[in-house]
Amino acid sequence: MLRKIIQIDDEKCNGCGLCIPDCPEGALQIIDNKARLVSDLFCDGLGACIGHCPRGAISVIEREAEAYNEEIVMREKIIPKGENTIKAHLKHLKDHNESEYLKTALKVLEEAGISIELDEEEESCGCAGMCPGTIAQEISKDDEDISASVPSQLRQWPVEMHLLNPAAQYFKNADLLVAADCTAFSYGDFHKDFIKGRVVIIFCPKLDHAYDEYVAKMSAIFERNDIKSVTIARMEVPCCGGTTAIVQEALKQSGKNIPLDIKVISIEGEIQ
């Protein structure tokens, strides 16, 4: 029968991951920095994920979906997207105890001459449908002497996006640092390498749920002030891509051409 189901535009999707928590069926995952519908089987077509996509990359379409056919889905939807999507789909079926569909999927792979095995780590990680930024992990660090005092380089207050006034005097002729919350905790020399000489704006693109508000405020800052440059500091996890999306959309709406530098910081605290 003809039924509603979501469709993702790869060209628009930036892998921010804001759609993931709002898909209760677990049909969406971030794979290769793009949101993927890993199984038609668990998409109800209600579009709960649409309202949280900052790029308008998700839409609801109608297409033939009666009598779900795992073989067709594997050949036309899963295999063309590559090994990572295949693995995610197999694990998705396994996690939902869809043993018959899993057997069909493995048969299709065998017929196509594709060998895919889920190792123990992938089977037991418990991250199906979960944003990579929320997966618990420990970070190994060597003991270092950090007794030397590091002076603060902060030049203004407040720094939280919600509290900022676009007409504040400190924005005049400023170099801006737009930073995702977690970056300062991950990168050890954050004050020296990022904050020094810049006006700071911080927020969390995943948890704040204020995309339109933040775009409007950033756009107002660009319009009212002669901003000299913008540096973005974001984490490597896909959901942090919303930081960049907000700034880029604000620049577009303001009509300003301001030099933009994007720094991506790993969970281990290194600049990628």
pLDDT tens for 198-218 read 999 999 987 787 888 898 999
Q: How confident is the model at residue 116 (pLDDT cuts 50, 70, 90)?
A: confident
Lowest pLDDT segment from 7-16, 46-55, 130-139: 130-139
Grade residue 127 by pLDDT with cuts at 50, 70 and 90: very low
Phi first, then psi, for residue 184 (nearest 5°) are -65, -25
* Nearest by Cα to 250 from 222, 210, 208: 222
Residue 245: burial class (beta carbons within 10 Å; 0-12, 13-18, 19+): buried
Q: Does domain 2-131 have CATH number 3.40.50.1370?
A: no
| Residue among 83, 30, 79 nearest 57 (CA) | 30
pLDDT digits (tens, 9 = 90+) for 70-79: 888 788 878 8
Structure confidence at residue 234 (pLDDT): 94
Instruction: Specify the pLDDT at position 135.
Output: 59
Q: pLDDT confidence of 240, banded at 50, 70, 90? A: confident
- Name 195's bridge partners: none
Q: What confidence score (pLDDT) does residue 239 get?
A: 73
Residues forming CATH 3.30.70.20 domain(s) in the chain: 2-131
Q: CA 50 to CA 272: how far, in whole Å?
A: 30
Tokens of 22: 């709002």
Given 2.40.360, 3.30.70, 2.60.40, 3.40.50, which CATH number is that of 161-265? 3.40.50
Mean pLDDT, rounded, for 39-60: 77
Radius of gyration of the chain (CA): 22
Residues of the chain with CATH 3.40.50: 161-265
Cβ burial of 105 (10 Å; 0-12, 13-18, 19+) is: buried
What integer best gives the mean pLDDT of the chain?
A: 83
DSSP structure class, residue 66: S
Q: State the pLDDT at residue 126.
A: 37
Look at residues 54, 63, 52 and name the one whose alpha carbon lies nearest to residue 7.
Answer: 63
What would the two tokens of residue 251 be? Answer: 């620049």
User: Alpha-carbon distance 261 to 223, whole Å?
Assistant: 19
**Percentage of the chain exceeding pLDDT 90:** 36
